[in-house]
Structure 1
Amino acid sequence: MAPAKKFLARMSIRSTMIAALAVTGLQPASATASSTVGPPGPTPAATSAPSRPAALADVVGNDWRIDRLTTAAATWDTVTNAHIRMPPNGQVYGSLGCNSFFSHVTMNGTQLTFGELTTTRMLCAQNERAFEVALSNILSHHTFTAQADGGKLTLVADNGNLIHLSRGPLAHVTGVQWQVNTLTTHGVSRRPITSAHISINTGAHQARGDLGCMTAFSAPVTARGEQITFGRLSTSDVPCKGPDRTFRNALHGTLHEHTFTTELHNGNLTLTGTDGDRIILNPSA
């Protein structure tokens, strides 16, 4: 499956070489030249990891929440919806906590080597920025050994830094407001006349948003593997006419009690229904 918090500014993809650290410890306040502060109160921690190697088949194809980072200098607890996903095609993508990223990964035996990171450029809160600078420097151009501990995963870097992760269904979907770009039903494609958006929280099993024409909705959702199922939609009662009404009703009918396969590509999300209907969404600017 191809390659993914709300964007606070215009998304502009850039390819940026993030320098790999030559030391085993990462200083939170000076991980890169552009980072001058760290998150409040990083706690000193010694690097240690589970002892059982993980099969790469268990790592690839799953969504992993990033729980914390451990370096010789400190432990960094995640500050937001940081996650990582590695499809079996050699690509890797996810969220650094504020900005999304994309890269390539080389797999050799039990080891993973990450390449250059391509990231979005957004305005981020101070603690989010500090966390993602630390994560970027740990990930970029380093080789990791994957070690498992139940539903947890630890990536042990060649310089001793650790990334602690836990399995989470569709982590790349959660925590983002997705703007509806195109709705295709029965072979007919439509674009919203007024803003339509969807936010999904798989942890809370809930979705909410706007169907267009200022019609708010909420619905229960369940996630399993790469699929997400919407339950019965509850909507606000807003008068609507013409093309707005046509689009709103079509989106309601597409979402209502339907199951979709999710696909993330270059930061955009596609929901494909079992009947072939499709919704293309972009992260909100």
Structure 2
Amino acid sequence: MLKTRTTAATAAVASLLVLAACGTEKAGSDTGAGTVAPDVPVTGVHWAVDSLTVDGRKAQAPAGTYVEIDKSGRAKGNSGCNHFGGTVTVDGDTLQVALGETTEMACDAMDFETAFHKAFTGKLKARLAGDALTLTAPDGRTVVALSNIPPVPLNGTTWTVDSLLSGDTAASLPKGTEGKAHFVIDKDGKVRGSLGCNRFSTTAEISGRTVTFGQITTTRMMCSGPEMDLETQVYEVFGGSATYELRHRGLSLVNAEGKGFAATAAPSASAAKK
């Protein structure tokens, strides 16, 4: 579990994302006098946040930004940098979000989170069309776009390291190293990728929730201090056995000492074109 702290600002961020997810619950609006609009089916779905548009200016969401809402109205997700939680109330096509909690990492996506905080503090109108969900602020000048993206398997997926784990705590990557550490575990168990500076290869044997890596080989380049710091921590995971947890498009790998990392699946070709 990640350590969390509830604050007014972070709660607001959680709120918006929660709203986003909720938004889908009631995309229907009045279709005639005396009719009740059905709830939009958003629970139990992994909603990837695609973009945020404010006053005509569109910003693409960082990879791995998402919202999930369960049947009880609890919402959780990632707002571009930090994970969040909260509750959602849906009334027709109007969404209202309660305060929530968030982790406290600092990273390059903070501007996107701040935009969420400013844009989503109250009600949103939801519209669902196929796998696409849009949430619009009352003034009509702020729109968040989401999509229902299917999960990916452990093997054959390109994973990009996006945070470092130590016990119950998650930390952002060293500044300037975002996107540099990535890897693929092929279906035949061969592993290849980058540790953050050097290319590497090894093998992986999967049993239950444990991955046992074989002998690792790497190139021998020297890189900047932050890149080498990242490489050292990622290398420790690939140097032996690790416990993995796969959740939709997210993966965590943690070694016996409680050190590890979280990674996000690369977007599909169709998603990347949006």
- Normalising by the residue count of structure 2, what TM-score does the alignment of the two structures yield? 0.49
More helix by share: 2
Instruction: Considering Cα pairs closer than 8 Å and 6+ residues apart, tell me whether 1 or 2 has the greater RCO.
Output: 1
